[in-house]
Structure 1
Amino acid sequence: MLTKVLLILLSMFIILPSRIEGPHVELEKGPSAHDDDVYGPKPQASEKKLPSEETKPTAIGIHGRLDKLPAATRILNSILNNYDHKLRPGIGEKPTVVTVELSVNTLGPISILDMEYTIDITFYQTWYDERLRYNGSFESFVLNGNMVSQLWIPDTFFRNSKRTQEYAITMPNQMVRIHKDGKVLYTIRMTIDAGCSLHMLKFPMDSHSCPLSFSSFSYPENEMIYKWENFELEINKNNSWKLFQFDFTGVSNETETISTPAGDFMVMTLFFNVSRRFGFVAFQNYVPSSVTTMISWVSFWIKKESAPARTSLGITSVLTMTTLGTFSRRNFPRVSYITSLDFYIAICFVFCFSALMEFAVLNFLTYNRTKPRGSPKLRHPRTHALTPPRARQHQEAFVCEIDDSEESDEEEGPSCPAQQSLGPASTQRLGSCCKWCRKYFCMVRSCEGSIWQHGRLFIHIYRLDNYSRVVFPVSFFFFNVVYWLVCLNL
């Protein structure tokens, strides 16, 4: 009985492995049976590898990398174990030489009202620290911002900065690279709002040099020295549009030593040179000022009898120039001197005001000239019919004088016979002007007479508009020629 049970168990152990291996054999042979029906390269049978053979190269690679990690850790621990980050390298022996380099990411905008500008830079500082030398297969170590506090870093600060922003997303934008010979490279990105004294005397044809100066805060010149590294400033000109009203023209540098109660410090300064674009200011100030000045000359072609029209045009021109002068100073620093633009607007204001005063003078003089000295009834034709012949002849002189003086400027013919019959005493009485005015101003339409001295320059009052039509445009033209020649050549 026992033997039968053993035989049955033995047969079961023999039959079960064969049934289990059967389907696997069919699956392996199945694809090969249909190889002729598949389009493309025929799959090649891959050689089976033992598990130990497959994992052996990977294990060696991981083992090699794991061997380097402890080596790097040991090197860092060895150089930082006895390192004191509070003391500068070479203390008590020689000054530390820090080599500086800049990379400008963006420049601008420049605020005229606040007299400052914004600059985004990547600041590089390089120095040697003998305490960080090491021996090993690593050429350098790159440490992130978290390790910066464990090393000595130069205490460089920007002397003319108003606000400084350091970036900390996603990590502080700082980096330290330590070379095996002790060379250290420290890199940081920051945005600085720096002051820039803008001299606006030649505005808007002005150019400026905005400085960016830096030095050590606590180490004087005998302990820390700065120097430039291959002074070739990298500027991303694709972002120069942030200057808006300015064009970038170049950069220069300067090194100086300043004396303070704490010692003599070496100061490094970069100057970013910019020049103003003229187009914006021209369309906002020069063109409106010139056009307003020319519009004020229209009153010279309007009859002097149209007092409301000429007065309204003159006052409007003066008020417009006042508004333009105020508008040009709205976003402008409150400086005590006048700029080139202020001078131009002031001259345009003078031209507009002179055009208004020209009509006031003309109206005043002609009003005094045409004011009747006799009875007001001389102006009415009805009284002329009832007047005796002798009195009528005397009054016709006044009537003719009044009518002649009120004619338009275009009708400038010779004076009437009644006026010519007036003697020097009558002409002097009807002029009603002071002596010096009669010497140089002609109060009648014909200045050729024995009462005037020959060879003297006389101004015909009735032709004052004709003079102004020529004098004002020609004077304004010559002013513009001189103005632009002087401003563009300074």
Structure 2
Amino acid sequence: MLTKVLLILLGMSIILPSRIEGPHVEWEKGPSAPDDDVYGPKPQASEKKLPSEETKPAAIGTQGTLGKLPAATQILNSILNNYDHKLRPGIGEKPTVVTVELSVNTLGPISILDMEYTIDITFYQTWYDERLRYNGSFESFVLSGNMVSQLWIPDTFFRNSKRTQEHMITMPNQMVRIHKDGKVLYTIRMTIDAGCSLHMLKFPMDSHSCPLSFSSFSYPENEMIYKWENFEVEIHENNSWKLFQFDFTGVSNETETISTQAGDFMVMTLFFNVSRHFGFVTFQNYIPSFVTTMVSWVSFWIKKESAPARTSLGVTSVLTMTTLGTFSRRNFPRVSYITTLDFYIAMCFFFCFCALMEFAVLNFLTYSWRIPRASPRLRHPRPRALTRPHARQHQEAFVCEIDDSEESDEEEAPSCPAWQSLSPRSTRRHGGCCRWFKKYLCVVRSCKGSIWQQGRLFIHIYRLDNYSRVVFPVSFFFFNVLYWLVCLNL
């Protein structure tokens, strides 16, 4: 009996562990099968396991990156620990050589009235500082503008600048790059309003060289030297669109030494050469002046009896030229010399004024020949007894002929008044010949003869408009030809 009980207990002890262990084994092997055969989301156990597996490489990479940052910080701290930014490199041994390069972002506009121009540049300065040498895997460090105050920077200033703006958006537009061998590159962007002395004598066919000069403010030539790295400053149309009336023609440079009370300073100057294209000035000044001058000649085809029409046309032309001359100087510097445009407008004003004076001379000479008729009662003879010597002289002074028109002159006068003016009687009464030029010049009324007679030049009064119709256009034409040949070849 006891033996049976022991056998039953032994069998139960064998069966129970197998039942408990069986499901546990199946649970461990069960989830592994779907990884190879089933597509879809993985069980929860695998999801917990994968993040742990992905985190391990990231932790290793972060540990490597964090390993370089302390090295860079250590290098910067080591080179800046005993660095004195108040002293220039190589002080007391040799001058500091600063290599300069310049990039033009935009050029213009050029203000003629203020004699200045605007330029937006990126300024590069390079020098060697032995105190900034280091050993390490980094070839260079790029530092933001906040680190500029901790380094020595050349005190370069622009000598002909009136206003200078440093760009601060979104951060100060300046950068420092430190190389392994101690080379330092300092870059800054700025907009400068620089003075430019414009010589406007040839305006509007003028060309200018606008300078941009810079030097050290406190270091003389024996302590700091400037030199160009590679002098290639190219300004394309996209960078010079603000020049408006000017065309960019090129860049030149110049290096000089200026002596001051503080010492001899090296000055570097960059010249931006521009030339004006005068299309705007042509439409605003030349064409209106040319047309106004030709309009003043219309009075030569108007009858001399129409005094109001000819006078108003002449006065209007003169006033128009005065307005054009004033308008051309409105946006112009107050210089003491005249420009080529001023000379052209002055000549057009002269032609308009001469056209007005032509009618005044014609009107004066025409009506100066008219002698008032005597009263009809003076023509009746008086008794000899009542005639006195002084009365006879008074009668002879007023009893004379009158010519009110060309027709009457042609009927009563000789065939050519020019010949008549040579006679003593005509010279005494009419004064046909000019007092100053009576030897070679004579002004007469209408004449059918030639202009040159009896060794004198006869100006026919009634033909004065005919002369002007030819003389004025021909003179103005030759003036324009000579003017443009001289101005375009200067």
TM normalised by structure 1 equals: 0.83
Q: How does 1:60-459 map to 2 (within 5 A)?
A: 60-375=60-375, 398=401, 401-404=403-406, 415-417=410-412, 419=414, 424=423, 426-433=425-432, 435-436=435-436, 440-446=441-447, 448=449, 454-459=454-459
Q: CA separation of 1:337/1:405 partners in 2, compared to 1, >3 Å: closer, same or farther?
A: farther
| Distance in 2 separating the partners of 1:285 and 1:59 | 78
Higher alpha-carbon deviation: 362-371 or 113-122: 362-371
- Over 3 Å counting, the alpha-carbon distance change for 1:51 and 1:419 in structure 2 is closer
Do residues 483 (structure 1) and 483 (structure 2) align?
A: yes
CA distance in 1 between counterparts of 2:477 and 2:291 reads: 13
Segments of structure 2 that go 5 or more residues without pairing to the other structure are 1-18, 41-45, 382-397
Structure 1 CA distance for aligned equivalents of residues 146 and 48 of structure 2: 49
CA distance in structure 1 between the partners assigned to 2:357 and 2:138 by the alignment: 88
Deviation at 1:248, TM superposition (A): 0.4
Alignment: residue pair count: 447
Unaligned runs of 5+ in 1: 1-10, 33-45, 388-394, 407-413
Q: What is the alpha-carbon distance in structure 1 between the residues aligned to residue 20 and residue 308 of structure 2?
A: 130
Paired residue secondary structure (2:456): coil
Cα shift at 1:53: 3.7
1:437 to partner: Cα distance: 6.1
Q: Deviations for 1:353-395, whole angstroms, at most 9, x for unmatched residues?
A: 00000000000000111343433x69xxxx99x99xxxxxxx9
Aligned-partner Cα distance in 2 for 1:317–1:155: 60
Task: Go from structure 1 to structure 2 and tell me whether the alpha carbon gap of 1:327 and 1:12 turns closer, same or farther (over 3 Å shift).
Answer: farther
Rounded Cα–Cα distance in structure 2 between residues aligned with 1:294 and 1:471:
13
Name the SS for the 1:202 alignment partner.
coil
Q: Name the aligned partner's letter for residue 322 of structure 1.
A: T
TM-aligned CA deviation for residue 334 of structure 1? 0.1
1:235-287 CA-partner distances (Å, limit 9, x unpaired)? 34303110001000000000000000000000000000000011000000000
Larger Rg: 2
1:426 shift after superposition: 4.9
Secondary structure of 1:239's aligned partner: coil
TM-score by length of 2: 0.83
Q: Which moved more, 1:131-140 or 1:225-234?
A: 225-234
Letter in 2 for 1:402: D
How far is 1:13 from its partner?
Answer: 13
Deviations 1:451-478 (A, max 9, x none): x962222211211111111111111111
Distance of 1:13 and 1:373 partners within structure 2: 161
Runs of 4 or more off by more than 6 Å in structure 1?
11-19, 21-30, 46-49
CA distance in structure 2 between the partners assigned to 1:51 and 1:418 by the alignment: 131
Alignment CA distance shift 1:64-1:155 (3 Å): same
Deviation at 1:419, TM superposition (A): 4.5
How far apart are the structure 1 equivalents of 2:204 and 2:359?
A: 34
SS in 2 for 1:57: helix
Distance in structure 2 (CA, Å) of the matches to 1:405 and 1:431: 18
Greater shift after overlay, 418-427 or 102-111? Answer: 418-427
Change (3 A) 1:268 1:93: same
Contact map agreement 2:163 2:194 (CA 8 A) in 1: yes
Q: Distance in 2 between the 1:140 and 1:28 partners?
A: 51
- The 1:281/1:50 distance shift into structure 2, 3 A limit, reads closer
2:312 partner amino acid: S
Correspondence 1:31-42 to 2 at 5 A: none
